[in-house]
Amino acid sequence: MEKIWLKSYPPGVAHDVNPEQYRSLTHMLEESFQKNAASPFSVCMESWMTYGQLDHFSAALGAWLQSKALEPGARVAIMLPNIPQFPVTMAGVLRAGFTCVNVNPLYTARELEHQLRDSGATVIVVLENFAATLAEVIDNTPIKHVVVASMGDLLGFWYGKWITFAVRHLARMVPAYTLPLNAGRTAISFKQALAEGGSIPFKPAASTLESIAFLQYTGGTTGLSKGAVLTHRNIVAAVLQAEAWFTPALQRVGDPRQINSIAALPLYHIFALSLSLLAIRRGSHLTLIPNPRDFGGFIATLKKRPFHLLPAVNTLFNALLQHPQFKTVDFSSLCVSQAGGMAASAGTAKHWLETTGCPMVEGWGMSETCAIGTNNPVLSKEFSGTIGLPLPGIDIAIKDDEGNSLAQGQSGEICIRGPNVMPGYYQQPEENTRAFTPDGFMRTGDVGVMDERGYTKIVDRKKDMILVSGFNVFPSELENVISLCDGVVECAVIGVPDEKQGEAIKVFVVKDNSTLSEDDIARYCQQNLTGYKRPKYIEFRDDLPKSNVGKVLRRELRVGK
């Protein structure tokens, strides 16, 4: 198959990557720790951590884990927000030869129980703020060892004590909990685990590129979530692919160690996780944002020092734009505004460019592909409305339901193959059979079309398609158009049953403080959309239901319609 997209690659971007330059992801991490020991790795609430400290702390935690006689590849759950304990734990687990299971700290008890049971995790590192949820279900899980972190553990002696006190007693963000310690279960504080591990010899693990690095659980939009098996090879390849793609924009910074990447999206999510590992590969540093929903505090952090890479989902970009203080930020250092995780809207992209001078660059990927798939060139001057080109080493094919590749310009399921693509779901043989085509492409469930330059445009998820009088209507197209209407902050489109048309279109709109009316939107749609694509129902809302990473939850809108 001809890779027509390679002709559209920016100058100097390699066509492939070589994960074999590393023995494992652990090898990549440790090389950076040693090379950049004196350089800053992260800043969180103005407390800095160097690569040398990350090396020391993660080795100590790794040694403590090894002292528990866990089986090789044992699963260790990480239930932490964006605080220094997260990268320390992630690196410690990997260096000790075990598997990271990233857990959303805001999970309900039901969701947490499923993930711990399904993954078989026997150890969990959890922030005390969320320990009460764990306590509800721990007896129904394989967890044998609990490490409880406090917010201020790695924020310096006095400041850390103050932060922990404030979180516990002033903000009262730590619900009371009791962890049952029956059947030999143990519980220990994060700081005590580091202290004990620091006195134990650390034995470097013999992980290979084929070892499992992460079980990355999918959103579970159609039933129980599944663990995508991500190997060391998958992650290393994704980091190298991202590095190759972002270099044309970031090279103007000069020394990579000066690059400041904003980690506002949760690190348990594959999008932020992959970009944090890219920072480690380059020896650059991260600004950790524990609570990006505190937009005032987030913006105050952005004003403290130059920042160069800002990854976000469309809803986060939009929320920042709506804050009155955002325009006071200095954007002169911003090299890449990377959009992903959900479809980016033309309206938000237009406003972002006008405000920051830095175009939103949209990409596409999945947990199953280490967040890497396609991306627009990072030196693009405008929003393209596509998800861009396949990254180095990746093949994209547009296929029909039988797995046959379709002709260029035809709409079909986007299928992907490459070194970053998972080998399968954890202990899900039937799902794996459905997930891959006979020629080794993974089915993504996204419907798209590729043009003659190799750029792909998503028309939507298969299940979100609306059938109006026999015509296929894809919500993302309508959302993209309606988002450009003056006064619309954000919107979401669903199909609702209709006796005459089969389905009718309903749009939910969040507006600014203007006098925007239903008639205004109807007139705008009449001007910009063909008849069968125009919404029959328009409903204003104060906000839209979203997942913890900012995706609009259309299924909740359907239930509440």
Q: Show the CA angle centred on residue 24, arms to residues 23 and 30, nearest 5°.
A: 95
pLDDT at 110 over 90: no
pLDDT at 222 over 80: no
Per residue in 331-352, pLDDT (tens digit) is 999 999 999 887 888 999 999 9
Residue 10 confidence (pLDDT): 95
Give bridge partners of residue 321 from the DSSP assignment: none
Whole-number Å distance between alpha carbons of 496 and 560 = 11
Residue 463 confidence (pLDDT): 74
Whole-number Å distance between alpha carbons of 383 and 344 = 9
- How far lies 406's CA from each of 5, 365, 394, 400, 462, in Å? 16, 21, 18, 7, 16
Residue 396 confidence (pLDDT): 97
Whole-number Å distance between alpha carbons of 459 and 201 = 54
Residue 353 confidence (pLDDT): 96
pLDDT at 278 over 50: yes
pLDDT at 220 over 80: no
Q: Coil, strand or helix: which one is 308?
A: coil
pLDDT at 223 over 70: no
Whole-number Å distance between alpha carbons of 379 and 358 = 10
Beta strands in 342-387 (DSSP E): 360-364, 374-375
pLDDT at 187 over 70: yes
pLDDT winner (highest mean) among 353-357, 429-433, 462-466: 353-357
Alpha helices in 329-474 (DSSP H): 346-356, 429-435
φ and ψ of 480, to 5 deg: -65, -40
Label residue 499 by pLDDT band (50, 70, 90): confident
What CA dihedral angle connects 556, 558, 560 and 561, to 10 degrees?
Answer: 150
Residue 78: which of 273, 238, 368 has the closest Cα?
Answer: 273
Q: Read off the tokens for 468.
A: 């109006």
Residue 561 confidence (pLDDT): 57
pLDDT at 219 over 70: no
Residue 444 confidence (pLDDT): 93
φ and ψ of 124, to 5 deg: -135, 135
The whole-angstrom distance between residue 395's C-alpha and the CA centroid of its chain comes to: 22
Q: Show the CA angle centred on residue 164, arms to residues 162 and 169, nearest 5°.
A: 95
Whole-number Å distance between alpha carbons of 279 and 38 = 15
Q: pLDDT above 90 covers what percent of the chain?
A: 82
Mean pLDDT of 538-551: 91
Mean pLDDT of 284-308: 96
Number of residues that this document lists for the chain? 561
Mean pLDDT of 104-121: 92
Residue 262 confidence (pLDDT): 98
Cβ neighbours of residue 205 under 8 Å, at least 6 residues apart? 26, 94, 95, 96, 97, 98
pLDDT at 22 over 60: yes
Domains of the chain: 4-18+232-422+432-460 (3.40.50.12780), 25-207 (3.40.50.980), 465-559 (3.30.300.30)
Mean pLDDT of 304-310: 97
- On whether the CB atoms of residues 299 and 320 are closer than 8 A, the answer is yes
Lowest mean pLDDT among 71-85, 210-224, 437-451, 541-555: 210-224
Beta strands in 330-411 (DSSP E): 336-339, 360-364, 374-375, 389-390, 395-399
Mean pLDDT of 381-402: 94
Mean pLDDT of 502-524: 93
pLDDT at 469 over 80: no
Whole-number Å distance between alpha carbons of 173 and 186 = 24
Lowest mean pLDDT among 53-57, 253-257, 527-531: 527-531
Give bridge partners of residue 212 from the DSSP assignment: 231
The per-residue pLDDT of the chain, averaged, comes to: 94
Mean pLDDT of 279-305: 96
Residue 221 confidence (pLDDT): 38
Whole-number Å distance between alpha carbons of 100 and 93 = 6
Sign of the CA dihedral running 330, 511, 504, 525: negative
- On whether the CB atoms of residues 339 and 361 are closer than 8 A, the answer is yes
